[in-house]
Every structure is written in structure tokens, then in C-alpha cells.
Amino acid sequence: MTPGKHLSVGFLGLSHLHPPSYMNLFQAIPETAVTAAADAHPAVLEGFVKDFSVRGYADWRELLDQERLDLAVIFLPHADCPDAAVACAARGVHVLVEKPMAASTEGVRRMIAVAEKAGVILSTPYTWRYHPVARHMKKLVEEGVAGRIVGCEGRWAAGRLSRYVEGNAGWMLEKARSGGGPMCNLGVHWIDLYRWLLADEVVEVMGKTVRVNEQYDIEDNSFALLTFSRGTVLALDISYTVPGSYPFGRDLYLALRGTAGVLSWSVSFEGVKERLFVCSDSGEYSQPARQHLDFELPPQRGYGGVMGHRFLSDLVESVRTDKPPAITGHDGLKALEVVEAIYQSAESGRSVRL
């Protein structure tokens, strides 16, 4: 793109929990300007346009016809994301699609094919790779502080189903439109993060889902054992069943256990201070064998805070310089392939090879 030119950004879909917090991120990046947004629900559109002074459209197709965008950010129901992404790519517009990108891997593959043919960027916000603690964990893994990683844990329990209804995103609770429940919507974050931390791919899964609610056709709780190609086993516990009294309404945890040590992180998420526990018997580790490492994060408004800002800044730089993004559509595909295998295993009661 032309050096010095501001990126014109459009939001396709607003009936989602994240568009307002993404606006905070874009407002903190001077090279961008969100100029327009589209949503089929008049009240949602009217409120967003009023709050952020952007042009509003009732249909995302009309927005694409009327606006000259550099980047489209898609917050539509997951089943509708592929059509919108394909339409953007056909117009030469770069695309950021909210995870998990689609309701099925077929949709993601279609997006990838069209984006590659058109020569546009296709990315998805797996922002946890940009968290300072996650980056330090990866460094320690690469340095062998924990030895060969044998087992991992990932827990993400967040909110209740009601938050989607209250947030004008009730479609999230319909499997045909969302693709699934918490494993599809939240578990993909940890699946992608562990792929990145371990620099390895999942080759086999065993899954189990539990449905508590009687009103919707998605699971409330998802559990899985993922085996990576080098033998590491990851246990995932992903759910929507955290009581309202739980601190910040979320329970997030990550841990890696190896032949020489342990790395564990109880994620604060809402705070500006994070603590990583490191315990190592490795003779190569120069620090005390057991310690807590504290990370002071600067306050940052918007989705994902500091990590969200760093992810988005990196993506904007990719668009401006025509360089590949750090997180691609292929990363989105890999995570969703694992989710589909987990659901297949839960239904069949057998492990599934990828």
C-alpha cells in the first residue's frame, strides 16, 4: 500500500461481544481509521454508530460496495464468515476474521484458497501468542529449562451462556451458526497457543462433552486429551460454567511439565500484573531452581489489552508492508481441525487421528 497512507478499516458484523473493545485497540493505533460498520440489527448498528462516529450499513455487502477498505474485520456468526471473507478478498481487501474463523474447517479452507489467489492477508486474533508471559514461557521451553515437555494442562472456564444473549450474540449458542460451544469458541485459543509453545502439531485426540443446559444445542463443558507428534499430551478443560461470584468471572490456567521442570501460570487476565512459576532441575538453568517471575503489564484498553494491541499493531504493519502476518488462516485451520476431531471423538467414544 502507499507509504504514509492510513488504513481504512471496516467492521462486518456487530452482534458480537468484541467490536467495541476492538475499537479501543484501533483508536490506539494512529495508522488506522475505522470508517464504517455493518449489522443487520438496527438497534445494535445505531448504538455502535452513535458511540464511535462511523458510517453504518444494514448489510455488509452494501458496505463493501460503498466503502474503499484496506482491512475488514469480521464479527459475523461463524457460519457466515467464509462468504464475507471471500467477498472481501475478491475486492483486494485484507481480512481479519474473529476466531474460530468459521463453523467448519471447510469454510476456513475456502477462505484460505481465495485469499491466497487474491494475494491478500487472512489472519485471526490468536492474541495470546503476544502475551509477555506466554513469550517468556516459549523462551524457557526452547532453552530446555523444563527438559523434554511430557504433559501440559490448559483450563479456560468463562462466564455463563446468558452473556451471549445479553451481548446480542445469541447465535453463539446455536451450533449450526457457531460451530459448537466453549471448545470451539474458547478452546481454540489454548489449542493454538500450545501449538506455538511446543512448535508441534496435534496428531490424536480423545474428547468428551457435557451438556447442562436444555435450551441450546451446544455443550457447556468440553474436555480433551491431545497428543502431539513428539509425544506431549495436553489435557484441556474448557467450559461456560463458571459461577458469577468467581473472580472476574473467569478461571484460566496453563502449565507445562517436563523431564527437568515445571512452568505454570494462573492467568490474571484482568490485571496488569502476572506471575509465572518456574521450577527446574536443569543444570543449564542459571536462575534459582524455584522462583516466581512477575510481569508488570502496562494498562491498555481494548480486546486482550497489551497482547491485543501488539497483535493488531503487528497485523497492521503486515498490511502496510505486504509481509506475511505472524498468524495466518492456516493457523486458524489447524486449531479448528483439532476442535472438529474432539467433537467427533466425543460423539463416537473413540480417539481420532488427525
- Please write the tens of the pLDDT for every residue from 28-59: 999 999 999 999 999 999 999 999 999 999 99
DSSP secondary structure letters along 39-64: -S-HHHHHHHHHHHT-EEESSHHHHH
Tell me the pTM.
Answer: 0.96
The ranges of the chain annotated as CATH 3.40.50.720 are 7-127+307-327
All three cell numbers of 351: 480417539
Burial (0-12, 13-18, 19+ Cβ within 10 Å), 174: middle
**Whole-angstrom Cα distance, residue 56 to residue 50?**
9
Instruction: Using alpha carbons, select from 271, 273, 275, 267 the residue that is nearest to residue 250.
Output: 267
**Whole-angstrom Cα distance, residue 278 to residue 139?**
12
Task: Say if CB 45 and CB 38 are below 8 A apart.
Answer: yes
Task: Read off the pLDDT of each residue in 75-98 and give the average, rounded to a whole number.
Answer: 98
Residue 3 has pLDDT above 80, yes or no: no
Would you say domain 7-127+307-327 falls under CATH 3.40.50.720? Answer: yes
The ranges of the chain annotated as CATH 3.30.360.10 are 129-300+335-353
- Using one digit for the tens of pLDDT, what is the confidence trace for 132-150? 999 999 999 999 999 999 9
Task: Say if CB 86 and CB 114 are below 8 A apart.
Answer: yes
Continuous H helices in 199-328: 305-321
Total residue length of the chain: 354
Task: Say if CB 99 and CB 318 are below 8 A apart.
Answer: no
Top CATH class of 129-300+335-353 equals: alpha beta
The 8-class DSSP code of residue 184 comes to: I
pLDDT at 4: 57
pLDDT at 244: 79
